[in-house]
Structure 1
């Protein structure tokens, strides 16, 4: 038992060391993410005043699984057309995710690590979410709540004057499953993709026109679609 525990500790340590990156590496990686998203933006539609209400959990994507996992693609509107380009990079066995997404109108960058989500909007620090639901602004003041941890199928984004929006939890978590089968007295495997349900609008209600609140609602909608839209774990 002790040997097994030591083995697990060693694996965790080696994985951490293999995925630990310098600030310079991470900055260069972010620039690469921006370049990739910039190329994908050539094929997306112009962002309009009602576009947020039409963002769905439907996406066209490609992915790479390794020590550093990458998900790249576009989020679609409810008519099936691409509206937001994105790339997500996950690293390590614990939550350590970076998302960069862009429409023709805005750019969002998010880091999700140790149950803390940090957001930038158009390269300006917007704030962060801590303790699962406390929304802090750029000055570290608590300005709202976003409790996704409930058992409800949706969650609200609340600020000083009440509910700014209600967002549907993205239950369409795309993933691969590996099916093993016997062929000629040996085991082989193949990757099987499950059938996808029809795309669903993520914004259930939008009750604010405040520019800062809208930045949060947009950021959380994109995060919901991209982070909860695909699992690298079969």
Structure 2
């Protein structure tokens, strides 16, 4: 399985302190990658690094806001100096603001776009320059089913994730000649601490997701690890500009009647 071996590779995972980002980072580390984690919260970063190191992973962390292009550039240079080059970038950091479009403050809309879309562009641009000099690299953008579908109350998030899908395709188009593969992962609905309150039998949204998903379950965070490893490894060297949806089949179907077995 040498195609999937990441030994000797270094992966920068933005926002890799918890949830799906942590699950993907663990998958990369299990495949042999050294981890670099970014966060804007000191306590979360410290706890995450302790967790990674307790599992025997090589992991280092940096505090910065990916939307601050000057600070991000400074920190990327620190990573090069302290740890070395970046082979894999996972643009995972993101936020969501749930509010009806008519009620949403423009500043909140802009902030979501800034973090979820502009931040991914800033980080991709920064690491791509070094990847080009070194002869290649992997960039993985964490998209969403909202890159394809709309839903009430997530206007800014859907706009950002739709934009991230197109950013993925455009960066792949420009950088493929440099042996840089830019792809995306689109998670479906996953069992995380954020969704725990609604993942109970009888809750309307839980019943909706179970019924809407052909796999008839919520995703487990570790379900993303294999896709992350694939897109970070030599196994995907001729895969470029694609978004792989890890959603239990939601996007493949129109759904079924509630009472259908």
TM superposition score normalised by structure 1 = 0.29
| Greater Rg over alpha carbons, structure | 1
Name the one with the larger helix percent: 2
